[in-house]
Every structure is written in C-alpha cells, then in structure tokens.
Structure 1
Amino acid sequence: MNTIKNYNVALSCAGSGIGQSVINSIRLSKLPIKTFGFDVSPMAFGLYDCDVFLLTPAVSDKDYVSFVIATCVAHKIDLIVPCIDEEVQLFARHKAAFTKAGVKVLVAGERLVAICRDKEAMSRLLHPIVPIFVASYDKSSFAIALDKGEVHFPVIAKPRSGSASAGIHIISNAEDLQAINDGMILQELAIPHKKDLDYDFYRQQLDQKINPQVSEISVQIVADLQGEVIGQMMSYNKLKNGVPIEIFPYENEAILEEISQLYPFLKELGWKGPLNLQGRLTDNGFKIFEMNARFTGITGLRACMGFNEVAVCIQEWLGIRPELNRLDLTKNRFGIRQVADKAVSFDRNEEIKERSRLLHGKALKSKQTLLLTGATGYLGRNLIDALLESKDSFEILALVRAKETALALLPSEVLCYDVQDLENGQLVLGKVDVLLHAGFARPYRSQEELSDSLAFTADLFSRAVANQVPTIVNISSQSVYGQSDVLPWKETATIAPATPYGIAKYATELLLESTVAQHNHINFTSVRLGSLVGGAKGMVAVDLVSKLVAKALVSEPLQINGGTQLIDRLDLRDAVTAITTLLTHAATKWKKVYNLGSSTPMPLLDLAALIVDTVAVHTDVPRAAIEVHQSKDTLLAGMDCSAFCQDFQWKPKYTMLEGIKTVIDYQLAPDGLLLLTY
C-alpha cells in the first residue's frame, strides 16, 4: 500500500443485511479503516461489528440528513456508505451538502437512483434502449394493455419502490387485480426457460399463487468515479423471503453483452459505484425485473469469492492505489447463507443494559464470571486473592491441569475445572464473561511443553470466540522484544524474540488477534508482562533475584558476569493491582497490546549490591561477597509502560528494594503466612 493514512468510514443503517455485508467486506479487505456504525436501534446486529457505533434518528426524520452530516463532521468521517434504498436516494439527493461538509458519499447520481426506485420508470426508460426489461404498468395502464391483449395473466404486483420482495402478490385473474391498491405496479413474469433446473418447481408454486424465488440471476456491476466499469459478477441464486440463500457463480457472455449496451446511458444518469440487476433467463432471453444502485445482501459473500466490491469502491472514493482498483472472482466456490448469531455483553451498550434492568426491575447478574488459566501459579494464586477481596468481585472459575491439586491450593469460592471438563461440556464457555489466559509453560520449561501450551492456547481461544466470550485477556511477555531496538521498548518496537519462549508468546498474541478478527463485538488485549519479583505463595525460586537472594542468605559469593546488563522487575503486587485495574475498566477502550513492567530497570551489579545490603540489614547472616567476572553478555530489559499507566490511571507502587524484602522473608519462611497487601 502506498499510504499509511488511516481512514474513518461510516456505514449508515449498519444493522441492515446490506450493512452487515459491507462490514464483512471491509474486514476481509484489511484496509487501514476504522468503521463507524450508524443506526436507529441499539439492538442493530451490525453495530457491534463496527469499531464505533452511534445512534441516529429514524431515516424518515426530517432532520436525519443534517444529523448524519454533523455526526460525520464531529467524528472526522472520510466516507459514508448508505446501506438501504431509502438512504441511497436521500444521500444522493443531498450529496452536495455532504460534499460541502467534507464528507464523501459512496452513492450514484440522483437521476439513476430515482429510476432504480421506480420500477415502472425503469422499464419505460431502459427497455427501448435494450429490450431486456420486463414490461411494467401502473394499475390503469395494465387494464388497457390487458384489454388490447398485450399482456396476460398471471403477472406480479409489487410496490413501485419496494425491495427484498416485500409486498409482492401473484395476480392470476381480474378478481385478484381488484384487490391491490392503485400505488402498486404490475410486471410481466420472468418465467425461467423450460430447461431450467427449477422450471417445474416454479410453475407448481405459481399455480399456488406463491412467488417462487428461484432461478434468479443477479448481475453486480461496479463503476469507478468516471462511470467506467471496473468489475462485474453474475450469480445464479435461490432466495427465501427476498434473501439469497443459495448462490452459484454464473457465466453468460450473451447476457453481459446485452447489459453493456446500457452502460453509456447509465453513465449519463450518474452511474458510479455498485449497480445490481436481477432477472431470469427465459425462453425469450434474459429479462430484468429489478435494478438497484447499491451494494446487496450478498456483497459480503461475493467478497469471500474474491469479488470485494466494497474494498475497491472505498479505495476508488478515497484515492487509495486507484491504478489497482479492478475486480475479479474465483469461480470454484458456491455460496450458502443462513441466520447468524451474535451474543453481546451488556457492557457494550448502556442503553441496552438499562432496558434489561427496567424489564426485570433489577440487574440480572451483579458479578461477572471470570475464567482464569494458570490459577495455581505464582501470578494466578495471588491474583485470585486480590479479586476475591476487591469490591468489584468476580465469580471465578479456574481451568487447571490437575483439579485435585487446584482444589487444595485455591480458595473454596473458586470453581475448578480441568481440560476433560472443557471437552465434555461441564465447563460452559458460553457462561463466561471474561477469559484471562495466564497459564503457559515458563521460560525454563522444555520446547515440548512450550509447544503443548501453544496448542492449548490456540484451542482455548478458538473455543472462546466460538462461544462469543465478550472479553479476552492474554498474558504475554516482554520476551517478544528479544534484544531489538533501543530501550525502553514501546509497544511499537520491533518484535524479534530471541528464545523459543518469546516466539511462543508472540504466537499467542497473533492467535488471539486473528481468531477475534471477525468478531468486532469481542474485546481483547495482550499484556506483555515483565519479569516479576516478590515472595508470595506459588513462587518458584528459579528467577535471577530469587537465586541471588538464596546465595546471599547463606553468605555464598554472588557470581556476576559482566554487571552492566539492565534488569527490570515488576513487583508481584503491582502486577496484581494492574491486572485487576484492567479488568474493571471498559474493555471497549482497550488497545490490542499493552506493556506492563516497572519502567525502572537497573544494572545487574547494582541489583546484586542491593540484595547483599538488604540481606545484611534484615538478617544476622554475614555479608556475602560479590565477585564480578568479565562477560560479553549485553542482556537488556526495560519497557515503556506509559500507555497502560495512562489508559488505566495506574502506576507501580513498590520498588525493587521492597520486592527483594518479600523474597527474603519468603525464603526464610516459605511455609509461613506471608501476607501481601494490594
């Protein structure tokens, strides 16, 4: 891509089927776009797939356009995409006002849109150019044509400006004709040709006065800003209630040749962007009965088949690599569609939360359910204690390897499950509000154990997203940075893991982001945690500080190779308060990744001296010596944690000295009750 600019794109009526299709297409494009969903209803399906959602008045409201324009200006919207017919016509009519406000609108000219909305005008104006449109009549002109023998029953009656097959009736006789209102139009039927696969079914349904939505050919054509065609795709569709459910790629050069004769006239009418033609191949050739200058309900499916018209139009309107804006598709896939499900946390929308409260007279659930992995580990055990003491308490579930061990180690309030419970459905992820994944093989474990942890992580994230767990926190590591860039590392620093552990941890971040990518209503973040220090239950004395303290406590010389290496340690208590703070802040505002460390690294030699001095002051043990040896080891560590501190109004409380004291106390009395305050 020849630009790094990020663009703000709004979708009005994002909750419509077309809106969902547009959202899905934008996701697939991977363009640098922030999506803003506009809709009148907080329950609109597509809103929660957008990065930001905003409620609007109804499209019929007299101030709708001015509200939308003002909202676009306030949020610095670069381009807005109307997603229903009424809006397409409205935005085309007021395009100058959008342009004056500095907002581009992905819409064709007003004259073309008006013809698309009036089926009788469409037939009357376009059929003389290319005779492929079904004859269309208002009620009075139909009666005249019927008397002259120019048209015959059965015909189809539909609203003049309707869409999605709403309000359609089969008119088989004069009595049926009397029952429809004068605002309807009547069209001759485009009956599929006799060799069509669904011809017999079509006739049977027609005899029962049912509109059989089979054998429909949809032609989606896309024009650039100059009205020149940049792509076209045909599909052979079966619909249900106006919604395509079976879609086959289709080729017919004769149809495309006929349609192409319309292009010059359509260009004069202001054609740009998407144009959809719907018809059937009859015994008398291709017949069009519907035309719409917009995206459609299967736009997203077309994108999955390689024909991403939304991406190309956005690039065309915003001037992103216009020389490459051409469309093609794969022809070795078919499409099927069914109802999609979305389970959204009440925390995503305060209005919906209030509706629920009013419905029941109270909140249905006062606590969120937190599923924690790594619960029996160093961080996990102390995190659980802090969460149980917090006023923002959670109902805590623990997913552990050994259930009996966990039951002995963890407070009775924690419900423990193992992998077998996950496999057999005893642990129901659909009930989980927050997944906090802290369980992973430690850096000193074997590569096989790291691989097993990574495989478990991939499976867990997949299951969580499939169950639409609203919030996922992944505990990653500063090890992802390796020794890249200059300290301190920001979240944007080069990722260059130097160890298998670092590679595995970065893989967990990528797995989480890619797994959640198609579910914008799921909140997630990866916390790149620095090395921890602190004497507390669950501590395994394998880290540098613990080893140096152990030597100092028996007056054994501390062997230091080099000494200039920078060592960064975050007090366990600070790590716990930081994570609990994260969990109590609005997840919708989280960044994808955060650094979490002390932000105060110190040279290794200074750390050794601090340990020796602290042991000497707080015990009767003779002072240990420090022996420094030359070394080329240039190990450095240190993260810039300003993003976390700013977003969560948090900062570390404990110094390295205070952490060392707790390690000394814990090593002197590891089975004692060392109480840490958070």
Structure 2
Amino acid sequence: MNKTRIGITSIGSGVGQSIVDSCRLSGLPMHITGYGNNPYAYGSFDCDDQKILPGIYDKDYLLHLLEACKKDNIEILLPGLDDELLLLSKNKKKFEKNGTTIPISSEEIINYCRDKELMSKELNKYESIFVKCYEKQEIERHSNENTILPLIAKPKSGCASRGIFIIKSKEDLNKVTESHVIQEIAIPERSDNNHQAFVDALNKNQLIQVSEFSFQIVIGKNGIELGRFCSYNKLQNGIPIEIIPISSPDIWNEINPLIPTLIKKGLYGPINFQGRMTDNGLKIFELNARFTGITGLRALMGFNEVEAIILDSLNRKSHLSTNIQKIGIRQTSNRTINIAFNKDVEINTKKIDPNKEKKQQYRILVTGANSYLGLELVRKLATDRNISEVVALVRNPERFRKITESPLHTPGITLKDISSLDNGQINLSNVDIICHLASARPGSSNQEIAASLEFTQKIVNMAIKFQVSGFINASSQAIYGTNHISLWTEDMPASPETPYAQSKWASELMTSSISVHNKHAYGVSLRFSQIIGASPVIRTTEAPHSMTAKFLQESKVTIIDGQQTLDLLDIQDAVDSVISLIKIPLKEWPKTLNIGSGNPIRVENLAYKCLQTIYPSIDKGHLLEKVENDKQKSFGMDISKAEKSIKWKPSRPIEHTLQSIAACIKKNINHNL
C-alpha cells in the first residue's frame, strides 16, 4: 500500500510533537519525516525519518526546507512553530511547484495572529469578541485609573502566554515598551467557579490560567469547515493540563458570525481562539492559525484534525467528531534513546562525553537461556567484545548450574531466576537487547503452549514499558504451514496449522507491536528452521539426532517416503545469525528473517549420511528400512534476505554437523554406562 509522505517542521516543538502524535493515531498509511535543527528533538523519534536543517531564523532555512521536501517527495508539509508560519505562507507556491501542499492560512490571517493589537482593532470591526487594546498614552490621560485598570501587557508579536505582566497602576506603565500591546483582562464571569480565585490572584499581581476556552476550527482547501472542537482548560505556565470538551453548540454563538469573514480573508487549515466567558460575554485574547499543543490530545478524544487536513489535501472526505465522555489530563513524559539510533545524536553525545568514543557495548538479556539454542547463544555472547554483560534468565538456576559444560561458569554472565522480573532484581532499563528464546516445543501440551505465550506477552510488555532498544524473538518455520511450495520467503502469508505454530505467529505479532509503541525501538522475529547439532542438552526428537542414536545402538531406522525435504540448521550457525544481527545498527533490523540452511535435504539422503558418519567403511545398509508414502510434507526456506541484510549465511556442512552429533551422543552413552 502506498504511504502518503508527510513532513513536519520544527519537530522539536510542542506543536510538532502534537502533530506527529495525531499522525500515529491515524489509520492512514503514511511515512513521516521530521525536520528540525536539534538531533535530540523528542518528536523526531516518533517519525520514520529525521532530517537536520538550519534553524528557522537562518537566512537559508527556506531554501534547505524546499530542497529537503523535494528530495524526500513530501506531499503534505505541516508547520510546527508560529515563527515560521508567515515565511511558509508567503512561499507556499514554491512548495506547490515541487508537489508539496502546505495547509496554511494567508499572510493576512497570520498577521492577525502575530499582532495582537491588529487582531483586536481589525477583527472587532466584524464581531466584537476580542479583548480591547489600549495605547499607553490613553491610559496615562485617564483621570481615574481604577475604572480602567488592571490591564495586561503582552509582546505585540508574541504567541501563547510568554512575556506577559499585569499593569495595576500608572507606575507600571514604565515597564511597557513599544514592543508591548496593552489589553483588557478577560476576568471569568461571576458564576464561574474560578472567578474569586482569579480576582484574588490579580490582587497579588498574579495571573492564573484558569477557565480558558479553546476553540479549534479546521477549514479545508475549498473553504469548507471540516470540524470544530471546544474545551474548557486549566493551564500551567501556558501549557494546558486539564481539558474538558464542551458539547453545547451555544458556546459557538459569538464566534460563528466571524468564520465566513476569516475564510474570505484566506483561512485554511487549523485556527485556534483562546478566551474566557466574562460578565460581558466571550472575550478572545489569543488567535493562532496553526495546530496546537493539545492537537494530539484532541485526537485521543476522537477529533483528529491532522488526519482530516491530510484527507482533505488528498481530496478524500473526513468525518471529525468528539468523544465527549472523555476528558484530557496532561503531564510531562519521558523517553530514552540508544545513541546509535541516529548519527547526529551519536556525534553530539560523544562530544559531551568523550568516554563514549569507545565502541558501544550492549547489555543483553536472554530468556530461555537453559534451552537448546539458549545455552549455545549465551556461551557465544559471553566471549563477544561487543557485549558488556549477558543476563541469562532461567526457570531453575540450580539445575542449570549442574550442567557441566554450562557457559554460566564464564565471567560476564549473570544468572537470574525468572521470578527476578517480578521482585525488582532485574532492571530492564539497563538492558539494550532482549533475546527471547523461551518457548514451548512443537510437542508441548496446549496448557504448556498457553503458558509460554503468556510469558511472551509479559516480556514484550516489559520491553515496551522500559523502552528496550532491541528485541529478538525466536520464531519458527512452522508459521508458514505446509501448503506453500518451498522455498518459503518472508513475504508469504502466514498459515500456521498447529497450536505451536499459532503461538509462534502470535509471538511475532506481539514483537511487531514494540516499534508501534516506540518508534525508536526495534523488534525482529527470526524464523528458524529445524536446529540440530551437539549440545550439553541435545534433544533426541530431531530426526538426525534420533537416527544417529539408533544407528549407534545398531537399531533399525524406518523412513517414511524419504523424498520429502527437511531444512536443517547447525546450532552454531543459528547462534551466528543472532550475533550477525546484533552487529548491525538497530535501525537496519528487518522485521522478519528466515534463518535456515538454504539447502534442504531429502530425508532418504539424510539417513544415508547419518549411517555413513557412524560406519564410514562398514556396510550397515540393513539398518535402514524404507516405507512408501507420498503424503509426507516438505520444508525449506529462502534465506537470501538474511544473506543480504545481516551478511549471514550458514557455514557448516551437514557432514560436519552429523559428526558433532554422533560424537555428542556417543559421549552421553558412555557417560550413562
């Protein structure tokens, strides 16, 4: 499906963050590029791409933004900061020539927003709802200051609530400069619960931001209103922290007559009115022709104005509505980023902390560390210089320690019981990558498979909660089923046929949700073929293992059909695939990879090779029995994607693996004797 390419400017601003939040709450397929001059910008890590540009006050900003939008094939550009609105409005046709639409109002509308005095004097001509403005000299000439004061002084070209102060006496006028505009104060009406608190604060020379109404209207490119949203807000330092949507249409009565005039003057896209209900009716004191810091919160209430504008730009209908059963509350949020996520972040961070010049080392947690694959992976990770610590998570540490050849006796490995996840002994904030190998087996009971899947959900949720950068999920070729003709590729639809296969597919879906919640975190599912090879915990259920064990005891092996193929992978090659994945940048991790031999073998050939491995110079053909059956299924995966993306391919021939299996099983037989 083609994705609409969206650009968001000033991605580090609160408005930029709110826009990207709204995009992520949309069901529209889109590719988001965040533009800004700060590599650490919070919102950039929710985008698909991040591009560093000069600051918006740089003389070459417009040129660089035009070039970036053209190069990135941006279809719709959404501004994230007040101070660039006028520049973009003046030059929107330049962007349109390159195929980029900017849903932005005319210069006239933006000038009303930027100049509060102009807003009051001009727009009050059409509808007298804006707070009155005063000249400094007018106040000085007033005979009785008590009839006009207190007033408020704001920067003429400011935005939001920055740089304001209260004028309670004529002496306060000395602080007013030519860059200020003086306005009446919109005091909440007497019936408002916050009226007295507001008045008391004024008497203390304080202005509390309560009882504010925010009116957001969205206008499409043809001058048609796409939707409107009104809320009753409490603010702290200019930031709305409590938002209650107002459903009554009467609240709009005083604004409605003004909208047609604004549309005629070039209103396009979002516009926000901020004001209070006073004893003299609605009084508007702020006007902003842009999305706002609570645009994303409005989207959580069902009013996704960003999505509506995008749909309108694509000539598609939208339907904006609000879930009035919800209220909004806001507070600061936190995010951690692996410095390797972004080159600019890495360079800047290493300048601040030169110790980070050393090659980055990962802390890795391995679930199912006592499993067949887990043991060998932990052993290999412990010797890798790129790994600073391996946390091996197991269900029974004491049993695990008794394994003579266990890698847990190696320095750099920390053994933890699975209960450590619940008792505070493991801090996943210190983990860079989770290798999730814990799983039920194909022959496990339904209850065991359900318990395994429950644990997968738990570890995935914890990875999301603690913002773990990388998550590797051990999946299986079983998700393909047996109805596809092999060799199977990653883009084939899943067709799991057993409870075990269903659980593996479910684990892949859970893993994919990690990057949905955290765009700066990455989850990959490795679809392993049948893993074989020597191990302290070697299993006899795999065909080569069971054949070898029987041949060593000179017992007969019966093969059914024999023409079907198996995809067999040496356990050390399986381990190497995980190591190869860890070595590449997290941002380059694919979502799924087939990890197999790349060369499936017929069962009949496998049996003969097993026999020849044990009895290279003796004819033991009588130990092999064949039964005809044409209903057996074949297995085999295409591994070209893994070869290309992580530079991995299996290096151990089947003969080598069979020799290691025979030596391992023979050793176990002698030990038991």
- So what's the TM-score if we normalise by structure 1? 0.93
How far off its partner does 1:516 sit?
A: 4.0
Following the alignment from structure 1 to structure 2, what is the Cα–Cα distance between the partners of residues 302 and 74? Answer: 32
Which residue type is aligned with residue 479 of structure 1?
A
What is the correspondence of 1:285-304 to structure 2 with a 5 Å cutoff?
285-304=281-300
Q: Is the 8 A contact 1:552 1:624 kept in 2?
A: no
2:514 touches 2:522 (CA, 8 Å); kept in 1?
no
* Residue correspondence of structure 1 range 361-400 to structure 2 within 5 A: 361-363=354-356, 367-400=361-394
Check the 8 A contact 1:612/1:624 in 2, yes or no: no
CA gap of 1:168–1:634, structure 2 versus 1, over 3 A, is farther
Quick check: 1:405 aligned with 2:393?
no
1:181 shift after superposition: 1.4
Instruction: Single out whichever of 498-507 and 346-355 deviates more from structure 2.
Output: 346-355
Q: In the TM superposition, what are the counterparts of 1:112-261 in structure 2 within 5 Å?
A: 112-140=109-137, 146=142, 152-261=148-257
Change (3 A) 1:407 1:11: farther
Structure 2 counterpart SS, 1:507: helix
Question: Which of 320, 327, 338 is the aligned partner of 2:320?
Answer: 327
The answer as to 2:28 corresponding to 1:35 is no
The equivalent residue for 1:580 is 579
Contact 1:550 1:667 in 2 (8 A): yes
Q: Distance in 1 between matches of 2:138 and 2:73?
A: 50
The alpha carbon displacement at 1:260 in A equals: 2.1
Q: Distance in 1 between matches of 2:623 and 2:135?
A: 102
**Cα distance between partner residues in 2 of 1:177 and 1:538:** 84
Residue 129 of structure 1, CA deviation:
1.4
SS, match of residue 424 in structure 1: coil
Distance in 1 between the 2:623 and 2:138 partners? 107
Q: CA deviation at 1:53?
A: 1.3
In structure 1, what is the equivalent of residue 103 of structure 2? Answer: 106
Residue 423 of structure 1: CA displacement?
1.2
CA shift, 1:294, in A, is: 1.0
- Cα shift at 1:562: 2.7
The SS at the match of 1:497 is coil
Matched residue type, 2:189 = H
In structure 2, the partner of 1:473 is: 472
Q: Which range moves more in the overlay, 29-38 or 401-410? A: 401-410
Quote how far apart the aligned CAs of 1:111 are: 2.2
Q: Deviations over 1:176-202 (max 9, x none)?
A: 122121111111111111111211111
SS in 1 for 2:439: coil
Residue 463 of structure 1 and its aligned partner are, at CA, apart by: 1.6
SS at match of 2:39: coil
Give the alignment's TM-score, normalised by structure 2.
0.94
**What is the alpha-carbon distance in structure 1 between the residues aligned to residue 361 and residue 55 of structure 2?**
35
Q: Give the one of 303, 327, 335 matched to 1:342.
A: 335
Deviations 1:400-436 (A, max 9, x none): 1112233443233210111222211111111111111
Tell me, yes or no, if structure 1 residue 589 matches structure 2 residue 588: yes
CA distance in 2 between counterparts of 1:350 and 1:672 reads: 55
After superposition, residues 522-537 of structure 1 pair within 5 angstroms as 522-537=521-536
In 2, are the aligned partners of 1:554 and 1:621 still within 8 Å (CA)?
Answer: no
1:259-281 deviation line (CA, Å, top 9, x unaligned): 22222211122222211111111
Letter in 1 for 2:537: G
Q: Distance in 1 between matches of 2:619 and 2:443?
A: 30
Amino acid at match of 1:214: V
Question: Equivalent residue for 2:654?
Answer: 656
Matches within 5 A, 1:463-542: 463-542=462-541
1:676 alignment partner in structure 2: none
Structure 2 stretches of 5 or more lacking a match? none
Between the aligned partners of 1:499 and 1:236, the Cα distance in structure 2 is 54
Q: In the alignment, is the contact (CA less than 8 A) between 1:222 and 1:275 conserved in 2?
A: yes
CA 209–485 in structure 1, closer or farther in 2 if over 3 Å, else same: farther
In structure 2, what is the equivalent of residue 57 of structure 1? Answer: 54
RMSD (CA atoms): 2.2
Q: Kindly, what percent of the aligned residue pairs are identical?
A: 34
Asked if 1 retains the 8 angstrom alpha-carbon contact of 2:480 and 2:495, the reply is yes
Q: What CA distance in whole angstroms lies between the structure 2 residues aligned with 1:147 and 1:294?
A: 41
Higher deviation after alignment, 202-211 or 400-409: 400-409
Contact 1:35 1:50 in 2 (8 A): yes
85, 101, 107: which is aligned to 1:88? 85
**Match of 2:392, as an amino acid?**
A
Preserved CA contact (<8 Å) 1:553 1:621: no
Partner of 1:389, secondary structure, is coil
**Conserved in 2, the CA contact under 8 Å of 1:78 and 1:103?**
yes
Evaluate the alpha carbon distance shift between residue 328 and residue 369 of structure 1 in structure 2; reply closer, same or farther with a 3 A threshold: same
In structure 1, what is the Cα distance between the partners aligned to 2:268 and 2:135?
A: 29
- Are positions 1:419 and 2:447 aligned together? no
Q: Secondary structure at the match of 1:532?
A: strand
Moved over 4 A (4+): 140-144, 146-151
1:352-367 alignment, distance < 5 Å: 352-363=345-356, 367=361
Q: Distance in 1 between matches of 2:516 and 2:652?
A: 37
Q: Give CA-to-partner distance per residue, 1:338-395, whole Å, 9 cap, x none.
A: 0100111121234433444343442288532111111111111111222233332331
Q: 1:215-247: per-residue Cα shift (whole Å, max 9, x none)?
A: 011111111111211111111100011110001
Taking the aligned partners of 2:606 and 2:570, their CA distance within structure 1 comes to 14
Q: Which moved more, 1:108-117 or 1:7-16?
A: 108-117
Contact 2:166–2:206 under 8 Å retained in 1: yes
Describe the SS at the equivalent of 2:302: coil
Query: CA offsets per residue over residues 98-130 of structure 1, 9 Å max, x none?
Result: 112222223222222222222122222221212
CA distance in structure 1 between the partners assigned to 2:637 and 2:135 by the alignment: 72
Residue equivalent to 1:641: 639
C-alpha deviation, 1:625, in angstroms: 4.0
Tell me if structure 2 keeps the 8 A contact 1:616–1:623. Answer: no
Residues 15 and 295, structure 2, Cα contact 8 Å, conserved in 1:
yes
CA-CA distance at 1:486 after TM superposition: 3.3
2:568 matched residue in structure 1: 569
